[in-house]
Amino acid sequence: MDRTQKKTKYSIMARTVDQAFDELIKRIQPLPSEQGKVKSHYSTVNSCLSRSFGCYDLREIGSFGSGTSVRNYSDTDYFAACPSEKISENSNTMLVNFRNALSYTFHSTTGIRVSSPAVRIPFGSRVSELVEVCPARFKGLIQTPLAQRPYYEIPDSNGGWMKASPNAHNHYV
């Protein structure tokens, strides 16, 4: 068998652009095991933030939330919606408070740190085992070209708060 006849698992040629695109998607989609490790911590993160800050909605956002994640390269991002009265006026203080509560809950997890606008929790050595949790407070609805969407305020890296609407962003994506 010469070089052109040798087949490997990656040498199967698609016949159309659609088939080639489907093959690409299969190759870059995260494996169920990748997100499974992080999802196993969801309830504990949610319980910690509910108890400490009254978090009432821990929502997956980012590439996993919008279905655009890439195998071995995408982490998991969450918005943690908390009541306004539980949110510090200074967003940097809020991030430190989040980090402290999460560090206490995950005391055997090293490397939990603030990386504004979120707190990073490395549940393993791979990017796919990294969770980022962003404190958020609901502010109302914002008009988009498609419809009204909920918007929140999240840390702006300068101690203040900025507008964000993951729902509007996901509909755009």
pLDDT of residue 1: 46
The two structure tokens encoding residue 81: 């919606």
**Is residue 58 pLDDT above 60, yes or no?**
yes
Domain presence at residue 144: no
Domain presence at residue 10: no
pLDDT of residue 51: 97
Domain presence at residue 113: yes
Report the percent of the chain where pLDDT is more than 70.
86
Q: Domain holding 40: CATH number?
A: 3.30.460.10
Domain presence at residue 148: no
pLDDT of residue 125: 85
Residue 36: give the domain boundaries: 30-136
* Strand 130-143 versus strand 76-81 pairing type: parallel
Domain presence at residue 115: yes
Contact, 46 vs 121, CB < 8 A?
no
- Work out the pLDDT band at 82, boundaries 50, 70, 90: very high
Contact, 154 vs 136, CB < 8 A?
yes
Number of domains in the chain: 1
Domain presence at residue 142: no
pLDDT of residue 143: 85
